[in-house]
Amino acid sequence: MTDLWSDETGEGPPVVLLHEGVVDSRIWKPVVPLLAERHRVVRYDQRGFGRSPMPTEPYSTVDDLVSVLDTAGIDRAALVGASRGGSIALTATLERPDRVAALVLAGSALPGHPLEVDWTPEQIARWEAAEAAEDFDAMAELDMEAWAPMGADPELRTMFFENAAGSNGEHSTTDEPVAERVGEVSAPTLVVKGSRDVLGINEIGDILAREIPGARLAVIKEADHMIPWRTPEQFSHLIVSFLAQNLRS
């Protein structure tokens, strides 16, 4: 049994949703009912986020994901990962291909590949001051400026503030970087980019689409890094259509 918070909705081929590293599984709220029309949808809070416990020692995000699958009685699932969730899904696909039926990477990070955010000197100074003071509220404000430039409604703001400690705290994982191994991915893969996302994230999207064999690339015009929140209908349609064509029995 896992100590991570999770829930599930719907029936059909299983899909597991992995959230960004600045929010929690509530980011999938607009997407879940749309996917659940055709799929058994599982979402969970990663360790240190939402309703899951903070890590107290180095841990494997892949082992955590597998524990969610085991607890739900799922042998293989399609993984839909956004940002940090994408990096976990990608790593799991390489480390445990037997558990992954298909892969959707939305604004994904890439473990082992550097990511730069175009901070202004003023933002860098604010971040350094917030970090020195361990002011997680100030860090949340800066995170929103970087990752939600299209704005944040009260519910999205709440997610940023409530997860700032997990997002900006120490997460020592035992997972190995996989940037040099993306060409080994064998699962059907859809890469999704938001046209208003951070430049470095979109550059990673191009790398993934180019180097993962047979990967398909889709761009959502009116989305920043919060793709599930900005365009749930379009994003869900992309996922459902892709899985209908590519899920293996």
pLDDT in tens, 182-238: 999 999 999 999 999 999 999 999 999 999 999 999 999 999 999 999 999 999 999
3-class secondary structure per residue, 74-113 = CCCEEEEEECHHHHHHHHHHHHCHHHEEEEEEECCCCCCC
**Domain range for 97:** 6-117+171-246
Q: How far out from the chain centre does Cα 14 lie? A: 17
CB atoms within 10 A of CB 232: 19
Report pLDDT digits (tens) over 51-66: 999 998 999 999 999 9
- Supply the pLDDT for residue 97: 97
Q: For residues 142 and 152, what is the distance between their CA atoms, to the nearest angstrom? A: 12
Average pLDDT taken over every residue of the chain = 95
- Supply the pLDDT for residue 249: 46
Report pLDDT digits (tens) over 99-139: 999 999 999 999 999 988 888 999 999 999 998 999 999 99
162 within domain boundaries: no
Residue 215 sits in a domain whose CATH number is 3.40.50.1820
Q: How many domains, the chain?
A: 1
232 within domain boundaries: yes
